[in-house]
Structure formats: structure tokens, C-alpha cells
Amino acid sequence: MHRLFFVLSCLLSPLTLTCGLAAPAPSNSMPIVTNFNKLLEPGRHLVTFHIDDHLRKFSFVTPIGFKPDKPLPIVFFFHGAGGSATQAIRTYGWAEKANAENFFAVFPEGLSALPELGGPLHVWRDERSDTVTDVNDVHFFEELLNKLEAVLPIDSRRVYVTGFSNGAGMTFTLGAHFSKRIAAIAPVSSQSFTRIDSLARPLPVYYLIGTVDPLIPYHGGKSHLLALPFGKDYEYTPVQESVDAWVRLDGCPSQPQVLSHQNGVRVLRYGPGRNNSEVIFTTVEGNGHHWPGTIEPLPHAICGPTLDPFNATDAIWAFFKAHPMAD
């Protein structure tokens, strides 16, 4: 397995992108800082800090119109396997959305698939059943949120998490662990691997996936590519099972309402559930492993078609705005 990860890391040159496997972006003009108080200054920041014997990184956007006397929402975005904090901040439109809508945006960076060897293949440990690792990304998120809340005026009722591919799997996992701190989640192009049977509070979910995703087969089965970041074939369950699991966790009706179905985009609503929660399940007919509206489409040969019938970042932010945590 070490050899497999080494080969894959070498293949991920700065000019190579694979689905959910985005080569880390070249360094940009963001200064690297270690002082969280710097985040009080409007702009983009690249931050490093130590936790659990690891040096961790994240990019951060403090909106241009930020005033420290007003609590703001915060959105965490988790990149796909092989991505990075800098790649994520420039790719999915969340930095621009943070400035336009006046919220904080955080882009955490995963550790190498083999931390002892290093390398560019940054991944998230999303608790799928065959993952064995001493890296605890759940604890990393908890400590990062604690540190940010200690410095910034964050609206604790409007903490949101979203992510793509491996980052979407991590989004599901964090929602399950921190439903008392996260107001809503929005995973794109993965499945839910968490094995938690109940939530501390019902959690609104916006779940988006393409119907011909070769890496996350809509009807289940083996991925067309090695199930990175864990180095072996992975047998996926049908996507509907992830939907049904969160419908049960939120106490929603098992039969959905069709909110819309046009231009190949079908939007189903399961709800209302407990505490007026809901699960919104959006599918894009004919779309592959792709975040609709991204500025960085991934190779068709590996990820399938890249369709953009709407902007996923806009849709997810609208969902988040509609779902602050109840008082």
C-alpha cells in the first residue's frame, strides 16, 4: 500500500487533476500566519498550527466588510482527496461568496494519506469502515472551531459545513458528530460513511450528486477507480441508502416531495422532520464527479461528464441561509 500511495503522489503533478484528486495549487500571495488574531483583518489568510503532533493548515476568508462588533456566519469547505486549502479557496466560489454575503469561510487542509512519508495526496479520514489511521480529523475540526470561536465574532447559530468528494464524506461525518454545533451540512459527490445511530439534534442536509458519477456509483457497486485515499477497491452502496440514513436520523417522512425537476436537475425534499429539519436530495442527470459551477472541471476520462445546469455554491448558500440553528 505504501508503494501505491507513493506512485499516486508522484502522478499528482501540479498540472494533473483527477476526480476528487486535485493537485495542490501553486502557492499564492496569501501570507502564512500562525497568530489567529490576524484573522480579524479582512482578506485571505493561510494559517498553520499544531494539533495532535501534526502541523495543520487552513485557508481563511475574512470578508471585506467585516466589523468585529457583529457576529457572522461561518462556512467550512472540505476539499476532495488530493486537494489542498489553496486549491479549494480558488476553485469553488466560496471565497467570493463570503465577501458578497458577509460571512467567514474556512478551507481546512487534510494531511497526507501517509503522514509519516508526506507527499501531496491530502485526504480526510471520513470514518469509512476499512479506514485505519492515527489521524483524528474529527478532533481537528473540533479544535479548529474552538480556536476560531475564541478569536472571532462567530454566530454560533450559523455554523455550516460543506465539501466535495472525500470532503463530502467528511462533511457527513462531522454533521453526525457535531449536530449540536453545526446548523446544516451540504455534502457533494460522496456518500455517508458514519455509523452513528442518532443525532444530538436534527440536522438539515442538502445532498447533491450526479447520476453517472464513475467514482461514487449512483446505484452502488465498485468504483471505476481505486477507492482513494484508502488504496483498494471499495464497494459502494446505492446513494439512496445515504439519503435514507439521514432521513431516519432526522425523523423525516420516508416519501419525498418533488420540489422541482427541470433541465435534468431533480430536487426532492424529505420533511419536515424533528425540529422542522429536512433532507434535500438533488441529482443532476448525466453529471459525473463534478461540483456544478466550479471553475476547475475535472478530467472527463476519469470523472465522467461535467455539467453545469446551476451553480451549486449559490444553491448551498441559499440552503444554509434558510437553516440557522433554532434558539
Strands 122-123 and 111-112: antiparallel
What is the full DSSP assignment across 148-212?
A: HHHHS-EEEEEEEEEEETHHHHHHHHHHHH-TTT--EEEEESS---------SS---EEEEEETT
Q: Which of 124, 185, 166, 120 shows the shortest CA–CA distance to 325? A: 185
What is the structure's pLDDT at 12? 34
Provide the β-strand partners of residue 58: 47, 108
Q: Mean pLDDT over residues 295-313, rounded? A: 90
How high does pLDDT run on average in the chain? Answer: 87
What is the structure's pLDDT at 133? 67
The cell 469502515 sits on which residue? Answer: 129
Tell me the pLDDT band of 96, cut-offs 50, 70 and 90: very high
Nine cell digits for residue 301: 476520462
What is the structure's pLDDT at 23? 39
213-270 pLDDT per residue, tens: 999 999 999 885 544 444 556 789 999 999 999 999 999 999 999 999 999 999 999 9
Fold assignment, 2-321: Rossmann fold (3.40.50)
Burial class (CB in 10 A: 0-12, 13-18, 19+), 205: buried
CA angle 48, 52, 58 (to 5 degrees): 25
Rounded CA-CA distance 268/48 in Å is 40
What is the full DSSP assignment across 36-51?
A: GGGGGSSEEEEEEEEE
Provide the β-strand partners of residue 74: 104, 159
Tell me the pLDDT band of 128, cut-offs 50, 70 and 90: confident
Tell me the pLDDT band of 311, cut-offs 50, 70 and 90: very high
Alpha helix segments (H runs only) across the chain: 2-11, 85-91, 94-101, 137-151, 166-177, 239-250, 300-303, 312-321
Domain ranges across the chain: 2-321
Contacts of 24 (CB under 8 A, 6+ apart): 12, 14, 82, 83, 84, 86, 87, 120, 122
pTM for the predicted model, two decimal places: 0.90
Q: Which residues of 63-87 are buried (b: 16+ CB within 10 A; e: fewer)?
A: beebeeeeebbbbbbbbbbbbbbbb
What is the structure's pLDDT at 68? 92
- Top mean-pLDDT range of 5-19, 56-70, 104-118: 56-70
Q: Which of 194, 156, 154 shows the shortest CA–CA distance to 172? A: 194
User: From residue 324, how far is each of 112, 130, 160, 242, 279 by CA, in Å?
Assistant: 34, 34, 9, 23, 15
Rounded CA-CA distance 238/213 in Å is 12
Contacts of 276 (CB under 8 A, 6+ apart): 326
Q: Mean pLDDT over residues 192-211, rounded? A: 95
Q: Mean pLDDT over residues 178-191, rounded? A: 98
What is the structure's pLDDT at 116? 63
Lowest mean pLDDT among 3-12, 48-57, 65-74, 250-259: 3-12
Nine cell digits for residue 192: 455517508
